[in-house]
Amino acid sequence: MKITCIGAGYVGGPTMAMIAYKCPDIQVVVVDINAARIAAWNSEELPIYEPGLFEVVKEARGRNLFFSTDTQKHVAEGDIIFVSVNTPTKTRGVGAGKAADLTYWEGAARLIASVSTTSKIVVEKSTVPVKTAEAIEKVLRRNCADPNVAFEILSNPEFLAEGTAMEDLAKPDRVLIGGKETESGQRAIGVLKSVYEHWIPTERILCANLWSAELSKLTANAFLAQRISSINSISALCEATGADVQQVAHSIGTDSRIGPKFLNSSVGFGGSCFQKDILNLVYICETVGLKTVADYWHSVVHINDYQKQRFVERMIDAMFNTISGKKIAVLGFAFKKDTGDTRETPAIDVCKGLLADNAKINIYDPKVTEAQIHNDLSLGKFMWDHPTTGGTASPRQNAVSVFKDAYEACKDSHALAVLTEWDEFKGLNYQKIYDSMMKPAFVFDGRNILDHAKLREIGFIVYALGKPLDPFLQRNYS
């Protein structure tokens, strides 16, 4: 059996590496139109950072795992074609700012149709709007010249989270396969199931109809994001009342119906999926006339934007309502720890908010490159996932400096803000940092990872999300 995956990104790359690693009897080829990305997958410096990924790639690469730009050849030869291309939010036209842009998906479907001389199972791996399979099937059927070629479409959404992708792939809570309820649909489900059964217990492989599988992925991400917005909304109330959001989260998390995970209050959720998938869900609800349902889910994104804005306002207010010309150290730019990924990171909005008030920002992140940071701060909303639309240089780009060291970033700054929960930030020498900063020296902990009592002992004025406010901050913020 030969598997071909179109799209060598965050999802396609690690997923195919794991399939090849666990199924030595199956040939797996990952293709991409981006030659630089493919070259990186074939090198010692993989294009994405993911703990454990390199070891898995090294074991399987050249054995039964290959990365290639020869899309046509490998798609033509594949029995199962995974499609794992980007599905950005539309930036223009009908549904702009909400609907998924399926340009890349449709391109992949047309390619499959044009080169196929044998029947294939086509697997939706990237998140797509519900009923995409139906549209894709039409494109495949109408564009394939050979009437003997049959296409069976499956939805097999990916639930891996970045930073823990390899663990999630090796031991998933579940694998979900959606297919048609016809005989050939069920047969195709069986084929894909047999791939996963190489390492996943059968009872963890759930089968559903196509639309349920597609909707499950959007719903899972919407529910996860909703938990974060819920606890973040409570963090604002905690600050207003003197409650402590971590105590509240712990208390509610011990109710087995609620559960303890995904209750960390933060400066906001980021990542390539949550906002995009919710907006997608909102758009689908609107198009089928369910405005109340659309509004309900949209509020999850509104609270996320509110949380980022609130954080910036706290900073400005604490620093005597002016940050103009002040240096602010930003520790962490990635959307979460253990990844170099910055897609939709809350740090972008926070930095833009600070720049809008004329601050100078010194950024340090252990994994994000300087070029990436400048690029992110120059792009407009929703532009990040559109490879052809480059950013325009930000007029205040010279107000942003990127450092290779947290101490250097903090030197001479008025404040430091923790925006990503990197473990190394917990172990920094804060006395040394305090001594090098302007006074009063502020800490804004957007992830609640630091030892606030100790920081106060050193002399910092500390703002921690959802925690009782320092008397100093109460005076300034009313």
Q: Which residues are catalytic?
A: 273
Distance CA 321, CA 317 (A): 5
Residues between 146 and 175 that touch ligand UDX (CB under 6 A)? 158-162
If binding is defined by CB under 6 A, does position 69 make contact with ligand ADP?
no
Choose from ligand ADP, ligand UDX, none: what does 89 bind? Cβ within 5-8 Å by kind: none
Amino acid identity, position 314: R
DSSP 464: E
Strands (E), 186-320: 205-209
10 binds ligand ADP (CB under 6 A): yes
Query: How many C-beta neighbours within 10 Å does residue 84 have?
Result: 25
Place of tokens 């074939």: 42
Dihedral in degrees, nearest 10, Cα atoms 410, 48, 337, 404? -10
List residues bridging with 120 in a β-sheet.
151
Site for ligand UDX in 306-345 (CB under 6 A): 335-336
Which residue lies nearest ligand ADP, judged by its C-beta? Answer: 9
Q: Report the residue number, 107 or 253, with the smaller CB distance to ligand ADP.
A: 107
Which of ligand ADP, ligand UDX, none is residue 71 near (CB under 5 to 8 Å by kind)?
ligand ADP
Candidate ranges 32-40, 240-248, 411-419, 448-456; the one touching ligand ADP (CB under 6 A): 32-40
Quick check: 262 binds ligand UDX (CB under 6 A)?
Answer: yes
Q: Which of 3, 4, 5, 7 binds ligand ADP (CB under 6 A)?
A: 7
The answer to whether the beta carbons of residues 103 and 135 sit under 8 Å apart is no
Residue closer to ligand UDX by CB (options 32, 338) is 338
Strand partners, 205: 175
Stretch that binds ligand UDX, among 131-139, 265-273, 389-397, 457-465 (CB under 6 A): 265-273
| Overall size of the chain counted in residues | 478
Query: Considering only residues 109-168, where is the footprint of ligand ADP by CB under 6 A?
Result: 111, 126
CB of 18 to ligand ADP, least distance (A): 14
- Among ligand ADP, ligand UDX, none, the one that 126 touches (CB under a kind-dependent 5 to 8 A) is ligand ADP
- Would you say 292 or 388 has its CB closer to ligand ADP? 388
For residue 316, the partner it binds in ligand UDX, ligand ADP, none, with Cβ less than 5 to 8 A by kind, is none
**Shortest Cβ distance from residue 370 to ligand UDX (Å)?**
21
Q: What are phi and psi of 261, to 5 degrees?
A: -80, 160
* DSSP type of residue 61: B
- 228 touches which of ligand ADP, ligand UDX, none (CB within 5 to 8 A by kind)? ligand UDX
How much of the chain is helix, strand and coil, in % rounded to 5? 45, 15, 40
Pick from 272, 280, 304, 342: which binds ligand ADP (CB under 6 A)? 272
Which CA distances in Å does 319 have to 110, 326, 364, 435? 56, 9, 21, 18
Q: Residue 336 binds what, of ligand ADP, ligand UDX, none (CB under 5 to 8 Å, by partner type)?
A: ligand UDX
Least distance in angstroms from the C-beta of 64 to ligand UDX: 25
Dihedral sign, Cα of residue 55, residue 56, residue 62, residue 68: negative
Q: State the Cα–Cα distance between residues 154 and 167, nearest whole angstrom.
A: 24
Cis, peptide link before residue 395, omega less than 30° from 0:
no
Cβ proximity to ligand UDX, 78 vs 466, nearer residue: 466
Is residue 477 at the binding interface for ligand UDX, with CB under 6 A as the rule?
A: no
Q: Per CB under 6 A, does 386 bind ligand ADP?
A: no
Among 27, 71, 229, 339, binds ligand ADP (CB under 6 A): 71
Q: How far is the C-alpha of 364 from the C-alpha of 370, rounded, in Å?
A: 9
Q: Which of 56, 102, 263, 282 binds ligand UDX (CB under 6 A)?
A: 263
CA distances in angstroms from 283 to 268, 319, 409, listed in the order given: 22, 40, 41
- The answer for residues whose C-beta is within 8 angstroms of residue 313's C-beta and 6 or more apart is none
Q: State the number of binding residues for ligand UDX (CB under 6 A).
A: 19
Contact 415, 445 (CB under 8 A): no
For 10, 168, 294, 342, 474, the CA distances from 162, given in Å and listed in that order, are 8, 9, 27, 11, 37
Residue 403 engages ligand UDX in binding (rule: CB under 6 A): no
Q: If binding is defined by CB under 6 A, does position 228 make contact with ligand UDX?
A: yes
Which residues sit at the interface with ligand UDX, rule CB under 6 A? 158-162, 221, 224, 228, 262-264, 266, 269-271, 273-274, 335-336
Which residues sit at the interface with ligand ADP, rule CB under 6 A? 6-12, 31-34, 37, 71, 84-86, 104, 107-108, 111, 126, 272
